[in-house]
Structure 1
Amino acid sequence: MLAGKGVRSACLETETLSMKTEYILPNPEKENTFELVVLKVSSSFKKQHILEIAFQKLVSQECGFPISKCTLLFVNSKFLFEGKIQPEFFFVRKDVTEEVASKEKETKETSRSLYDLLSKKNLPPKYASRLCSHPRSCSYPEVCLAPKIPGDIFSLREGKEESGRLYKEGILNLKDISDTDSLTYRQKTQIKSVQTGTTHINQKVFSEFFNQIQYPIYFLDFESINPPIPVYLNSYPFQHVPFLFSLHIIREDLFQEPESFYYIDEGITDPRKGILEKLEEWILPGGTILCFNDKFEKRCLEESVTAFPEHKPWLKSIQDDFIDLAKPFWEYDYYHPDQKGSTSLKTILPVITGKSYKDLGIKSGQMANSEFLRVKTESLSASEKEEIQKNLIQYCKLDTYAMVLILRKIREWTQAL
């Protein structure tokens, strides 16, 4: 059956198979046949889309819709939003008819095999699958990893293949690994830290790091949105557009209370304009701009001044002042057993300082992104908007204050040399 009017997707089913797709349209190029059109919220063609489209074609044809053309629609990341979405430029159309045809036999055999499997009264024994990108992101660990639920073996840094090999050998915990000769420096550091229960600190590296710091110190963090359909003029699909920043400033003494500033989109003008104006007022060349993974903040600033080029001279004047606080942690010059392989700010902060994000209304950048988009795109009450804004500011402020606390700890380590 084909979905009726008012339904946004075409839904078809046979006695054994069912599927949903975006469009099944008459193909004017070939009489009495149809074009299958699949839309993906992606900025590029991906090979895994072909099997999905091949299955949709299989079901369509079994339902009496002969498919002569298969088209994949994805988002044109170079589309500049100037106030109106023009579908003919916003989407990229790719004819994937030949690629889909090459998968027809495989798709038919796999579909029949899966249907036969699901029709059985007793499912086959469970076994470990390597189809997930990583077991930590597996939706069914109790199925794929049973009967052995692993300990911390899959927390091994960059250890997807190595963790899988060790798991097959029956090693479920990092503490039980004896042969580390083939492992990387970071993997060896992580394993040794877990096995000894001690924190690894390369004080020499942190001393060199701290010696780069010049006052005043500007601790900077952005929150951004990157929707597929742009919200702001002169922005692109999936472009990270900052809507909020937090800035802590320490001018002379690291252990003095920092000055705190922030700016958040007030819903009237493009936030990039206000952000650039405030940052140019508050950040002067010659100090240190400290970020955690500074590539993100640099990119936000570079793309923002493209939209507001009057701020290019200021950005050029501070470009050499950035220092990335994440680098020594990413290199495992510091490692605590409780990090479990992670080097994110939200992991580093509690193991070094005991502080955490657990009591905040917003606890991650992804959550900040989605909550701000709700404010911009949904009908919310004034109190709801106020609560979200308060939570966003608190979250962003902790990101920069966390860097203050971490840098103070680094200073303590260097003084111990």
Structure 2
Amino acid sequence: MTPITKSLYLQFLRCQNAFHLIRDGVVQKPSTASFGGYLEWGDFLTLCKSQFPNTPTVEKSQNRDESFEESASYLNQNISHFGAQLRYQNFVCSVELLEYEKERDGWILWDFRPIGSIKQDILRSFFFYKKIAEGMGLRVIGFKLIRIQTKFVYTGGPILPEEYLLIEDITSRMESEFGTREEEWNSFLENEKETKDKPVPFSFLDRKPSCRSLKSCLSPSHCAPGRENAKEIFEYRDSSELAKQWFASGYNSYESVPDTELTPIQKIQKEAHLTGRVHFDNLKLSEYLANVTKSVAFLDFESINPYLPIYPETKPFQHIPYLYSLHIWNRETDTLMHKTYLHEDVASDPRKHVLFHLQNDLPRDITIFSFNDFFEKLIIQETTNVFPEYLEFWDSVKSMFIDLALPFKKLWIYHPGQNGKASLKEILPCFSNESHIGLTIREGQDANYQYLRLIKKQVTAEEKKRVLEDLIAYCKLDSYGLYLIYRMLQEKLSVI
């Protein structure tokens, strides 16, 4: 039988169908790896391990039986060790640290997580470890977690573990939730017993717990036969739970859902899809663009947000800008100018350089459009906190920002081709001939990862040149896309 790992158990608690589909090999396990995470994990792990000097490690081996045997040897001798490999019946897990406490003759389970807050899956993971450890006859006496101190401010030099790491004893919290965790565990065991050697009746309508929405379903053809012919109802905005009910009621298209069950926004969607026409709220958009200057700017930043701070006066997960693209359009002369800055010296802090060039490139008293402008404004504000010489620049531009995502979130404008989505990558092809599909880098997370690779020297000189070009191309299309969308809005307003 396929061993039950922690990730499989957590998958069961999220969706029973997905658990069985993965375990039976019907679908592949979804990837949980984040862009760039492994680039920092080794350094984070080293910091965590530094808190336990002279503690041996069970290294991961292709022959997992060898790892189980090595861990078993440490357990028999009551020796604390990293990477503990536990196996009980058909359950297996790897624990970051098993610490033996001689005074109480018991074991403390440790987990190391590069996160800023405790999430439910961490508590569920600890309980899974506990069940396997106790099944092996180990006496579990505590649960401890090492995570990131989000208030930590890096001042330069080596990161001091005692300042960066937050070590928490969560034993009391675990014990207070044992009832809930035990119910989840018993539900899992009961399901295992019921489905042993039997076909599993996949249906997201009948089984609980189940996915809240089929949008993220691993295999709709198993869980919801007919879903492929009813995808439209799952594209309605703000409809995750409603769409499930609609599907159960036999609705399978925009048209089939009665207006009485739709919100005002969903009614706009429905009409646009049935008529094939773009919805355009002339009044709202006229008010929205009423105070736009004659010349306008379109700004997009790319950033990294490492959990191990790299530059002085930064915090974990803080966004650090290294690239911007700026398009400036003069309406009177109908001329478009492009400015960009990419910080190629990856060994140095890019923030001051980014603001220096942006201050020179961005005209004063000009409307600045960004997509979800909170991000761009936050980057400038946080940078000026460290480099106060740019405070005057920030004060002069912060009131000039306008969020170009707002009309699409509010559905003041809606194109049937958006299919309920409101991201720039979904919107741009609907209103122009441009698309991110042909780019090597197509999303912000990948851009973040690629620049981190440069910092970590994970590329050759030739590859570095290509990555820098790809980053510029990606950022340039984002700001150019904003220009195209704005021109479209202006043209529509002029003919209505």
Per the shorter chain, which TM-score range?
over 0.9
Deviation at 1:337, TM superposition (A): 0.9
In 2: Cα distance, 1:52 partner to 1:332 partner: 41
Deviation readout 1:223-255 (Å, 9 max, x if unpaired)? 111122223222111111111111111245373
Cross-structure match for 1:32: 105
In 1: Cα distance, 2:210 partner to 2:452 partner: 32
Q: 1:410 aligns with which of 489, 493, 496?
A: 489
Aligned residues: 413
* Alpha-carbon distance change, 260 to 282 in structure 1, aligned in 2, over 3 angstroms: closer
The question of whether the paired residues in 1 share the 8 Å contact of 2:231 and 2:253 is answered with yes
RMSD: 2.2
* Alpha-carbon distance change, 147 to 226 in structure 1, aligned in 2, over 3 angstroms: same
TM normalised by structure 2 equals 0.78
Deviation readout 1:193-232 (Å, 9 max, x if unpaired)? 1122221111232233333211432211001111222232
* Alpha-carbon distance change, 228 to 145 in structure 1, aligned in 2, over 3 angstroms: farther
The question of whether the paired residues in 2 share the 8 Å contact of 1:218 and 1:249 is answered with yes
Q: 1:106 aligns with which of 166, 183, 188?
A: 183
The question of whether the paired residues in 2 share the 8 Å contact of 1:26 and 1:34 is answered with yes
Cross-structure match for 1:379: 458
Q: 2:238 aligns with which of 158, 162, 177?
A: 158
1:71 aligns with 2:150: no
Please give the secondary structure, in 1, of the residue aligned with 2:167.
Answer: strand
Cross-structure match for 2:46: none
The question of whether the paired residues in 2 share the 8 Å contact of 1:254 and 1:408 is answered with no
1:253 aligns with 2:253: no
Q: 1:296 aligns with which of 375, 380, 393?
A: 375
Deviation at 1:124, TM superposition (A): 2.3
1:53 aligns with 2:132: no
The question of whether the paired residues in 2 share the 8 Å contact of 1:27 and 1:69 is answered with no
Deviation readout 1:308-356 (Å, 9 max, x if unpaired)? 1221111011111111111111111111111011111111111011211
* Alpha-carbon distance change, 160 to 264 in structure 1, aligned in 2, over 3 angstroms: same
Deviation readout 1:23-78 (Å, 9 max, x if unpaired)? 111135x4311110112232111233222211111111222321101112222211
Cross-structure match for 1:88: 162
In 2: Cα distance, 1:135 partner to 1:88 partner: 44
The question of whether the paired residues in 1 share the 8 Å contact of 2:325 and 2:338 is answered with no
Cross-structure match for 2:96: 22
1:172 aligns with 2:252: yes
The question of whether the paired residues in 1 share the 8 Å contact of 2:213 and 2:241 is answered with no
Deviation readout 1:363-395 (Å, 9 max, x if unpaired)? 111221122222222421111111111111000
* Alpha-carbon distance change, 218 to 8 in structure 1, aligned in 2, over 3 angstroms: farther
Cross-structure match for 2:223: 144
The question of whether the paired residues in 2 share the 8 Å contact of 1:216 and 1:251 is answered with yes
Mapping of 1:281-292 within 5 angstroms? 281-292=360-371
* Alpha-carbon distance change, 134 to 90 in structure 1, aligned in 2, over 3 angstroms: farther
Deviation at 1:107, TM superposition (A): 5.1
* Alpha-carbon distance change, 126 to 132 in structure 1, aligned in 2, over 3 angstroms: closer
Counterpart AA for 1:42? I
* Alpha-carbon distance change, 258 to 388 in structure 1, aligned in 2, over 3 angstroms: same
* Alpha-carbon distance change, 175 to 232 in structure 1, aligned in 2, over 3 angstroms: farther
Counterpart AA for 1:64? G
1:349 aligns with 2:428: yes
In 2: Cα distance, 1:301 partner to 1:127 partner: 49
In 1: Cα distance, 2:361 partner to 2:439 partner: 27
* Alpha-carbon distance change, 110 to 56 in structure 1, aligned in 2, over 3 angstroms: farther
In 1: Cα distance, 2:310 partner to 2:126 partner: 30
The question of whether the paired residues in 2 share the 8 Å contact of 1:14 and 1:62 is answered with yes
* Alpha-carbon distance change, 22 to 327 in structure 1, aligned in 2, over 3 angstroms: same
Cross-structure match for 1:13: 87
The question of whether the paired residues in 2 share the 8 Å contact of 1:285 and 1:321 is answered with no
* Alpha-carbon distance change, 299 to 171 in structure 1, aligned in 2, over 3 angstroms: same
Give ranges in structure 2 of 5+ residues lacking alignment: 1-67, 75-80
Cross-structure match for 2:52: none
Cross-structure match for 1:241: 320
* Alpha-carbon distance change, 143 to 354 in structure 1, aligned in 2, over 3 angstroms: same
Q: 2:472 aligns with which of 393, 407, 417?
A: 393
Deviation at 1:295, TM superposition (A): 0.5
In 2: Cα distance, 1:360 partner to 1:263 partner: 18
Q: 1:121 aligns with which of 197, 202, 206?
A: 197
In 2: Cα distance, 1:328 partner to 1:24 partner: 53
Question: Is 180-189 or 310-319 further displaced after alignment?
Answer: 180-189
Deviation at 1:160, TM superposition (A): 1.0
Counterpart AA for 1:302? Q
Question: Is 258-267 or 365-374 further displaced after alignment?
Answer: 258-267
Question: Is 89-98 or 33-42 further displaced after alignment?
Answer: 89-98
1:275 aligns with 2:369: no
Deviation readout 1:291-312 (Å, 9 max, x if unpaired)? 1111110011111111212211
Give % identity.
30
Q: 2:440 aligns with which of 361, 375, 385?
A: 361
Counterpart AA for 1:121? D
* Alpha-carbon distance change, 117 to 90 in structure 1, aligned in 2, over 3 angstroms: farther
Deviation at 1:91, TM superposition (A): 2.4
Deviation at 1:133, TM superposition (A): 5.5
Please give the secondary structure, in 1, of the residue aligned with 2:259.
Answer: coil
1:189 aligns with 2:268: yes
1:62 aligns with 2:135: yes
* Alpha-carbon distance change, 3 to 337 in structure 1, aligned in 2, over 3 angstroms: farther
Runs of 4+ in 1 over 4 A off after TM superposition: 2-5
Deviation at 1:108, TM superposition (A): 4.6
Give ranges in structure 1 of 5+ residues lacking alignment: none
The question of whether the paired residues in 1 share the 8 Å contact of 2:282 and 2:493 is answered with yes
